[in-house]
Structure 1
Amino acid sequence: MSLRPSSFAILGAGLMGRLLAVELARQGQQVDIFDAGSAAAEQAAATTAAAMLAPLAESAITEPGVVRMGQYALTRWPQLLAALDQPVFFQQAGTLIVWHRQDAAEAQRLTRQLQATQRILPTLPALQKLDRQALAQTEPALAQRFAQGLYLPGEGQLDNRQLLAALLLQMQRLAVRMHWHAARSPEDFAPGTAGQPDRVIDCRGLGAKPQWPALRGVRGEVARVHAPDVTLQRPTRLVHPRYPIYIAPKQDHLFVIGATEIESDELAPVSVRSTLELLSAAYAVHPGFAEGRILELAAQCRPTLADNLPAIRQPRKGLLQINGLYRHGFMIAPALLDVTLQLLHTGQSALAQDFDLALEMQPQPPDPLARPGAHVLA
């Protein structure tokens, strides 16, 4: 089924809000998007993210359904990016995991976790154990510092800020009406009544806390560093019991380095202690970071539900709410996008079942805006 031309109000212009605005506008819908911040998305968790697409690596801290969403996204992201008018850096060169000798026991524990995930989800590419020679062939810059590692084929990453900018441009070209510094809540709308949108989609993350009492913030801190002497080719993770970091290389020797995960809604600047630990760990991976330049230290809080899993719900007719993306926003956003499109088109989603995704849908009467005919996905 396909949507007859109708009107949407999207609350929140972060990653999910922009993806939905572009896809719905491309389908011929009238879309208004409202955000408490500016077009720069400075208040969105997506602006601070490393945007790694690493379902097997993340399986160490999440459920199989989220891993399946990540697998799905690795095939969907190239399609979404190809439809944008502005290029976005995307690569799929795998993830590398390394550790120092003293942390071998922690690395063995992680390896067993990843192998257990692969037994549950055999469609994941098999991880590869690397000795020093294989590590030198995979990531030559690390061969002198590490004797072994793990390589997770097929995993990827993109440039989060390029993507947000490209989606903004696409919204402009598709005539999405954008309302900046205009915070709205679902209570500000009466969907389906005269002068109101037909549907409201709430993607505000932590801004929706009044509507999601269980929602909490999980603070993350990152450094953006320009390091011309560092030649890492793919996202690299350092196993460490205290501060396991990731290093995500972007274009032109720009690196996003992150580690910390703190149960807090606080948006204060990054602490000196966190900065020292973050950069010391990065230097332990590659000494070239010593001559790098710190472009930015940033902190943001990821919207997280009690079970650390995403959820979509429809508490009443005309209102759809999406939240709880936690630290997996870019990894699972295409899956949540397509689940949402299925719900809007048919009121059901086979994809949600594939992903074990929590749906809380109030029974609805038949939708007069739906009509038979076209494909579910754009």
Structure 2
Amino acid sequence: MTVTTTILGAGLMGRLLACALAQRGHTVEVYDAGGPEAKHAAAHVAAAMLAPLAESAVTELNVVRMGQHALTRWPQMLAQLDQPVFFQQQGTLVLWHRQDAAEAERFAGQLARTSAALPSLPQAQRLDGAALTALEPALAHRFAQGLYLPDEGQLDNRELLAALAHQMQVLGVQVHWHTPRTPEDIDPGPDAWLFDCRGLGAQPQWPALRGVRGEVARVLAPDVSLSRPTRLVHPRYPLYIAPKQSGLFVIGATEIESDDLSPASVRSTLELLSAAYTVHPGFGEARIVELGVQLRPTLPDNLPALRLTAPRRMSINGLYRHGFMIAPAVLDAALELMEQDHSPLAESLGLAVLR
């Protein structure tokens, strides 16, 4: 009799897990409330930046460690997919206007503390106007100084979701789209694993979860040429601009403690686009392709966790705003936990395993 591993949820974690298990020879079945486009998933809206040092200004060291792990793992994982996925690792550029110099020094100080705590992480490099222009010619004479964070990267979230959906099909994963299920609906048998990767859909079973609202703009700006993700330091609305392919940019900043999924507000949109315009005037003629809103599944400490709810029953959740940056580490730890009943990787990275 074939033992089937069941996965609930086909967002980023569910798809990565399904492919990894199928590659290891497991028979895998997936249930998801949405379709293969993953429009209901937080991963569909994300900018998919892989920026552990930059994110250290707003998160814990264990998340930074997970992000560092992912920078090595993503190229390996993408090489296993049949469909190409845009990926680049040209670092992060951090900028600020003169009036925000004090906030920039605070930010730089936090990065320095992170580098001291994690010496294996490349340190931020200070840039004067000439060095900044050499690195990013499109910003010549617009900023007098900046920071360059080497080796950080990004990928195309929607290309990845599509490539993973295709790979599940190639690997023989049985996927039930538009078929929501809860753990109580599934009886895979005592020898089979059940993984719950439903994000906020798992809130009834994991009441500590909450949604944190994020809003992003996707714009087509053929007059803007940026080679790498760029962040603008600001005390009220720190901004990121992630260049994708063919003149497309993902612009975001908002982080709102709310489970409201209504359309983006006028104020948030104005702040996002106005801040982007101050980075490069070419954004003034950009075309707004999409204003996206989604909720990030978040636990009380804003950190991810693996939870063993019963024998061979695991919940994976709480990736918050760092989904793409930490997903490979969470995946590798979950696989270790499944195969060994403990995870040295989770212990070394500080990833919580709840029992």
With structure 2 as the length reference, what TM-score do the two structures score? Answer: 0.98
In the alignment, which of 125, 134, 139 is matched to residue 136 of structure 2? 139
Match of 2:213 in 1: 219
CA contact (8 A) 1:192 1:318 kept: no
With 44-53 and 347-356 compared, the bigger mean Cα shift is at 347-356
Aligned equivalents of 1:61, 1:211: Cα separation in 2: 28
Secondary structure of the structure 1 residue equivalent to 2:218: strand
Aligned equivalents of 2:212, 2:297: Cα separation in 1: 7
Cα deviation per residue 1:18-43 (whole Å; 9 max; x = unaligned)?
00001111111111111111111010
Aligned equivalents of 1:124, 1:26: Cα separation in 2: 31
Letter of the 2:90 partner, please give it.
A
CA contact (8 A) 2:81 2:163 kept: yes
Aligned equivalents of 2:215, 2:172: Cα separation in 1: 35
With 209-218 and 150-159 compared, the bigger mean Cα shift is at 209-218
Letter of the 1:164 partner, please give it.
L
1:140-289 correspondence runs (5 A): 140-193=137-190, 198-289=192-283
Aligned equivalents of 1:352, 1:5: Cα separation in 2: 30
Aligned equivalents of 2:318, 2:247: Cα separation in 1: 32
CA contact (8 A) 2:52 2:64 kept: yes
Cα deviation per residue 1:297-327 (whole Å; 9 max; x = unaligned)?
0100000000000000101012100000000
Match of 1:376 in 2: none
- Indicate yes or no: 2:2 matched with 1:8: no
Match of 2:302 in 1: 308
- Per the TM alignment, residue 145 of structure 1 is displaced from its structure 2 partner at its CA by 1.2
CA contact (8 A) 1:220 1:259 kept: yes
Give the count of matched residue pairs.
355
Unaligned runs of 5+ in 1: 362-378
Aligned equivalents of 1:19, 1:286: Cα separation in 2: 36
Aligned equivalents of 1:192, 1:37: Cα separation in 2: 25
Aligned equivalents of 1:97, 1:51: Cα separation in 2: 17
1:44-123 correspondence runs (5 A): 44-123=41-120
Match of 1:375 in 2: none
Unaligned runs of 5+ in 2: none
In the alignment, which of 326, 339, 343 is matched to residue 332 of structure 1? 326
With 20-29 and 92-101 compared, the bigger mean Cα shift is at 20-29
CA contact (8 A) 1:191 1:318 kept: no
Secondary structure of the structure 2 residue equivalent to 1:328: helix
CA RMSD for the aligned pairs? 1.1
Letter of the 2:119 partner, please give it.
P
Match of 1:369 in 2: none
With structure 1 as the length reference, what TM-score do the two structures score? Answer: 0.92
Percent identical pairs in the alignment equals: 68
CA contact (8 A) 1:95 1:235 kept: yes
Aligned equivalents of 2:251, 2:80: Cα separation in 1: 29
Structure 1 runs of 4+ with >3 Å offset: none
CA contact (8 A) 2:6 2:188 kept: no
